[in-house]
Chains A and B, each alone.
Chain A
Amino acid sequence: MRRIISVLLENEPGALSRVVGLFSQRNYNIETLTVAPTEDETLSRLTVTTTGSDKVIEQITKQLNKLIEVVKLVDLTEGAHIERELMLVKLKATGSQRAEIKRTVDIFRGQIVDVTSSVYTVQLAGNSEKLDGFIQAVGTSGILEVVRTGVSGIARGEKVLSL
């Protein structure tokens, strides 16, 4: 099953390499990984999406917790949560394609953020399926370049991951 694990990490050099190293060392999957500082400059927030059986996911969370620099973590998929990913796509856009792409972007509530005579650059945010859906809708033949941030997530309601 796909899981989203959110981690508060000491904002120190080398901490990220320990997390990434753990995944490769123990043969766990990383599908996406995002990391950035938080409002507390001593902490980074890291979100990793992974897949595995319940047993593997339990090991992943336990092994992550064992890393000295991991302060706290939560498996967001255990409760209601919001997940978002940002994507920038460069599309071939000439002639009648231009109007067609514009319509698709609107349907997906995206924005065209850069334009040339032959290229549109589209920005899209949402959960990963929505971004996959957009790529399917425009078709891979027109795509020049795709960049995705990977998933960030947060629990719904009052629940917070903090010190």
Chain B
Amino acid sequence: MELLSGAEMLIRSLKDEGIEYIYGYPGGAALHIYDALFRQDEVKHILVRHEQAAVHMADGYARATGKPGTVLVTSGPGATNTITGIATAFMDSIPMVVLCGQVASTLIGEDAFQETDMLGVSRPVVKHNLSVRHPEEIPEVIRKAYYIAATGRPGPVVVDIPKDMTAPNERFEYSYPKKVKLRSYNPAVRGHAGQIKKAVDMLMAAKRPVIYAGGGVILGKASSQLTELTRALGFPITNTLMGIGCYPATDKQHIGWLGMHGTYEANMAMHHSDLILCVGARFDDRVTNATEKFCPGARIIHIDIDPASISKTIDADVPIVGPVDAVLKEMISLVKESKEKPDADALASWWKQIEEWRAFHGMRYETSPDVIKPQEVVEMLWKLTNGDAFVTSDVGQHQMFAAQYYKFDKPNRWINSGGLGTMGFGLPAAMGIKLTHPDHEVLCFTGEGSIQMNIQELSTCKQYDLPVKIINLNNQALGMVKQWQDMNYESRHAESYMESLPDFIKLAEAYGHVGVRIDRKEDLEPKLKEVLAMKDKLVFVDIYVDRFEHVYPMQVARGSMKDMWLSKTERV
């Protein structure tokens, strides 16, 4: 058997785990590991410019591929810089492993240079964390970390590695475990048959049903099953911001996404439904609005891999714990076998009602003869990229416009920080995707506020040649904050202006990229076409959009799902 040092075992374990890329930043406590990385070429390392970006890169990769991402950082500041990224992944249940250097085990507790209790600091925002206590356990710890990160309800796992565990002079026999067994961790592999049967009976009897699907469908790789079931039933389907793409947005059964900035018809249908089939979503407050007013006439079937998500905020009448793909498969076969059929008359009048809602409002915005509307930028890019780009987003109004007006027909294409709402997510996430999907168009919708939270990564893009397209919907303000101030604080714009914006064109050029400014409406289409034609260039597109635009629909605070602002003046 081969003898390897701890650091070599670590890198070899990553290779044996099938990890091709890791994203990171070196420092003292991680130097043995970096040296082992240097002496091989199978696991490739991407050097970011800030550790937070390494985590978002790993996260973007994970969301686009469904495979866990990997991060490597040093102890202390390197480790603490990852926290926002880890919390972002945790809130959206994204699988990843974050390897953190740590001071030598003999120094722990002595406030050594660059010592931080990373296990303690990360604890509330990880699925689990592990530390290496003997170098020879490294392969097993790594196997465990990936297993926990990627199975059940996925999530980030931190591994804390004291420097003496990776010392080059001590060598051990290496073998990578094929399997791990954890007696205390056994995620469900199928749903309860009796509950599934009961759910299907309820679906057949429903008069005003809605399917409400979430990010769990994408994480659980169950889009095709969801699509098949939805078509077999003929029911309307809506999804959450995280579920975008789990069902084709251009299909007629799709009624848009729901919640705070969801469509009028989706929120109305939910409120008036008699049965909600929730698949891999969690009744988040950005969906339900006031829970006591939530969908008063609806009974609820809730499918989720995580029992703790069920009946947490909204009680389920029929809880089903299990992987969504397996549960949906069973439902499909029951629906097909069943002698009962969905109530056709009831469904016909339900669809008539929904079409009336859709006709009354639908997704729309006012255009202007001279000002560029942010929504039209998104719509135009949707058309110019044939709806087939990977689209990442930062956080704010631009995020909502991107989600509303880019119609996603495939899962894993819409990549955003839904749960934590992390400004600064978009660019590094796009980089993680572009690196592994070089032939695909990758767009990053951002705002002049968000982009400055990780703008240093333009340098990483240069080093690794990552020609993403940055679409800066520049409204010269922290637009979403300003919108809330307009609506709730009589337009007192406390600190929501960005007064000293940099010249983004020069900035892009300084980093070695191309910058394009668009401020006249007639330039929009031709210039966007030029931008997309520059296949091998990172282009920073700075688009001056309407500074006064608000995102609508918007649910009225503390109301029910059906209480919405449809524009600055219309409230229903």
Q: Which residues of A contact B (CB under 8 A)?
A: 10, 14, 17-18, 21, 25, 55, 58-59, 62-63, 65-66, 68-72, 163
At the interface, yes or no: B119 with Cβ under 8 Å from chain A? yes
Chain A residues with Cβ under 8 A from B308's Cβ? 59, 62-63, 65-66
> Chain B contacts of A63 at CB under 8 A?
308
B444 to chain A, nearest CB (A): 32
Contacts A65-B307, A68-B184, A71-B184 given; indicate if A59 touches B312 (C-beta within 8 A). yes
CB atoms of A69 and B184 under 8 A apart: yes
| Complex interface: chain A residues within 8 A of B311 (CB) | 55, 58
Interface of A is mostly: helix
Chain B, residue nearest A64 (CB):
B308
Contact assessment for B184 and A10 in the assembled complex, using a CB-CB cutoff below 8 Å: yes
Instruction: Tell me if B185 counts as interface (CB < 8 A to partner A).
Output: yes
Q: What chain B residues lie within 8 Å of A14 (beta carbons)?
A: 119, 129, 131
Q: Once the chains are docked, how many angstroms separate the CA of A25 from the CA of B120?
A: 13
Q: B307 — which chain A residues lie within 8 A by C-beta?
A: 62, 65
Residue of B nearest to A13 (CB): B131
Tell me if B109 is interfacial: C-beta within 8 Å of chain A: no
Q: Nearest 6 pairs between A and B by C-beta?
A: A62-B308, A71-B184, A68-B128, A25-B124, A68-B185, A62-B307
B183 sits at the interface (CB 8 A): yes
Partner of B123, one of A17, A58, A59: A17
- Identify which of B123, B148, B182, B312 contacts A18 (C-beta below 8 A): B123
Which positions 309-332 of chain B face chain A at CB distance < 8 Å? Answer: 311-312, 315
User: Is A21 within 8 A of B123, CB to CB?
Assistant: yes
B binding-site residues for A, Cβ under 8 Å: 119-120, 123-124, 127-129, 131, 148, 182-185, 306-308, 311-312, 315
Contacts of A17 in B (CB 8 A): 120, 123
> Cβ of A71 and Cβ of B123 under 8 Å apart?
no
**Is the pair B120, A70 in contact by a Cβ cutoff of 8 Å?**
no
Say whether B182 contacts A21, CB under 8 Å. no
CB of A27, distance to nearest CB on chain B (Å): 12
With both chains docked as a complex, state the minimum distance between the C-beta of B83 and any C-beta of chain A, in angstroms: 15
Ordered by A's residue number, 22 sampled pairs between the chains whose C-beta atoms are within 8 Å are: A14-B119, A14-B129, A14-B131, A17-B120, A17-B123, A21-B123, A21-B124, A55-B311, A55-B315, A59-B308, A62-B307, A65-B308, A66-B308, A68-B127, A68-B128, A68-B182, A68-B184, A68-B185, A69-B184, A70-B184, A71-B183, A71-B184
Q: How far is the CB of B31 from chain A (nearest CB, A)?
A: 26
Chain A residues near B129 (CB-CB < 8 A): 14
Which of chain A's residues has its CB closest to B307's CB?
A62
Contacts of A68 in B (CB 8 A): 127-128, 148, 182, 184-185
Q: Report A-chain residues with C-beta under 8 Å of the C-beta of B124.
A: 21, 25
Inter-chain pairs besides A21-B124, A55-B311, 18 sampled, C-beta below 8 Å: A10-B184, A14-B119, A14-B131, A17-B123, A21-B123, A25-B124, A58-B311, A59-B308, A62-B307, A62-B308, A65-B307, A65-B308, A66-B308, A68-B127, A68-B148, A68-B184, A71-B184, A163-B183
Shortest Cβ gap from A59 to chain B (Å): 6
On chain B, the residues within 8 Å of A18 by CB distance are 123
Contacts of B131 in A (CB 8 A): 14
CA–CA, A14 and B159, complex, Å:
13
Q: How far is the CA of A69 from the CA of B128 in the complex (A)?
A: 9
- List, in ascending order, chain A residues with CB within 8 A of B148's CB: 68
Contacts of A21 in B (CB 8 A): 123-124
Bound CA–CA A25/B307 (angstroms): 19
What residues on B are CB-neighbors of A65 within 8 Å?
307-308
CA distance A59 to B148 in the complex (A): 21
A72 to B379, CA, bound (A): 52
Using CB atoms, name the residue of chain A closest to B129. A14
CB distance from B216 to the nearest CB of A (A): 15
CA distance in complex: A71, B315 (Å): 26
With both chains docked as a complex, state the minimum distance between the C-beta of B291 and any C-beta of chain A, in angstroms.
11
Q: List chain A residues, Cβ under 8 A from B184.
A: 10, 68-72
B308, B311, B312 interface centre (most CB from chain A within 10 Å): B308
Known contacts A21-B124, A58-B311: A66-B306 contact under CB 8 Å: yes
